[in-house]
């Protein structure tokens, strides 16, 4: 049975590290065990999951920790995985829509991590820097978003790649089909992104603990009722591209969580919208963690998204 423990920070806890605060309230747990829970996404402050042990507390903040030490485990599973590149430090994989990146609350199997652990087998390893449930995972893609991910094999590679993301030296390009007609051929959306107070799984422009966020975009092609864009997030907030386009009245096709219509019109015929988001991580560029050489990878649109474009083009 899992157990969730909750604590409220008092005035005396202000500016105390999260792991230290929890260790004070959980004498039956070691600090290293608590830190693993934090890294694995099992700790929330307010409504937001926190992954950094050194995050400082504020007075009156409510902390919840999932206290089941062995409830979840990332284990190898024989699942298909599309690996574009691999060496001793990292892998670059092409994630399909519908696959969750790592094990977590409500997801115990079938993830990209499960597939990678099987691929690595007994002869290799994935970095443990991100926690026991997220081995190798430096960054993530939403479940219904497809495309490129870089995965770390060693802890040193993980730290170096994480630093590149933090310093905004990793360049990612997405392709998205949005509802409506964007007025400008290119532009920037600069709106902070935080947790939606009314919907635990959704983010919003503004919101709880909002952090600055910027997305650049350019129009690739226009169709009746839709615009195909290339988007480059300058920051890496949760659901950033989805939130940004929804916030300006152009939600991504298929993204009903962010107010996209449940039905679309192609060639004058109305039909049910896509079963996934029309959002694809099409390119990623970074420096190799050993030696610093520039690396760039590209991924074509998946067949189901390409088919939608072909239908739109045929409809004129």
Give dist(CA 244, CA 114) in Å, integer. Answer: 31
Residue 254: half-sphere exposure toward Cβ, Cα within 13 Å: 17
Give dist(CA 305, CA 311) in Å, integer. Answer: 10
Our answer to whether residue 142 is catalytic in this structure is: yes
What distance, in Å, lies between the first and last C-alpha atoms of the chain?
57
Tokens coding 263: 């039905």
The contacts of residue 111 (CB under 8 Å, 6+ apart) are 74, 99, 100, 101, 102, 103
Q: For the purposes of burial, counting CB atoms within 10 Å of the CB of 212, is it exposed (0-12), middle (13-18) or buried (19 or more)?
A: exposed
Nearest to 192 by CA among 178, 206, 176, 180: 206
| 187, 240, 143, 175 alpha-carbon torsion, rounded to 10° | 10
Catalytic residue among 13, 19, 142, 196: 142
Q: Do 314 and 224 touch, CB atoms closer than 8 A?
A: no
Beta bridge partners of 151: 91, 137
Q: Which residues are marked as active site?
A: 142
């Amino acid at each position: 049975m899992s157990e969730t423990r909750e604590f409220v920070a008092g005035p005396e806890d202000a500016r105390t590290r999260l792991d230290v605060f929890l260790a004070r309230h959980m004498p039956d747990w070691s600090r290293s065990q608590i830190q693993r829970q934090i890294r694995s996404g099992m700790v929330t402050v307010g409504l937001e999951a926190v992954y950094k042990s050194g995050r400082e507390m504020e007075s009156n903040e409510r902390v919840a920790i999932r206290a089941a030490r062995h409830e979840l485990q990332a284990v190898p599973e024989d699942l298909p995985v599309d690996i574009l590149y691999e060496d001793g430090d990292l892998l670059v994989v092409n994630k399909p829509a519908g696959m969750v990146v790592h094990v977590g609350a409500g997801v115990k199997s079938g993830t990209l991590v499960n597939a990678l652990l099987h691929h690595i087998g007994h002869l290799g390893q994935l970095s443990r820097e991100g926690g026991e449930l997220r081995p190798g995972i430096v960054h993530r893609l939403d479940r219904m978003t497809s495309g490129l991910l870089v995965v770390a094999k060693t802890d040193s590679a993980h730290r170096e790649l994480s630093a590149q993301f933090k310093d905004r030296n990793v360049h990612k390009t997405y392709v998205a089909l949005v509802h409506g007609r964007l007025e400008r051929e290119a532009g920037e959306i600069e709106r902070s992104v935080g947790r939606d107070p009314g919907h635990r799984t959704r983010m919003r422009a503004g919101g709880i603990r909002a952090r600055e966020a910027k997305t650049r975009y350019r129009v690739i092609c226009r169709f009746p009722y839709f615009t195909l864009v290339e988007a480059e997030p300058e920051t890496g907030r949760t659901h950033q591209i989805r939130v940004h386009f929804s916030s300006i009245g152009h939600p991504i096709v298929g993204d009903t969580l962010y107010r996209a219509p449940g039905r679309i019109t192609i060639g004058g015929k109305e039909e049910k919208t896509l079963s996934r988001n029309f959002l694809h991580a099409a390119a990623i560029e970074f420096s190799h963690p050993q030696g610093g050489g520039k690396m760039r990878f590209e991924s074509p649109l998946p067949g189901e998204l390409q088919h939608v474009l072909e239908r739109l083009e045929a409809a004129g």
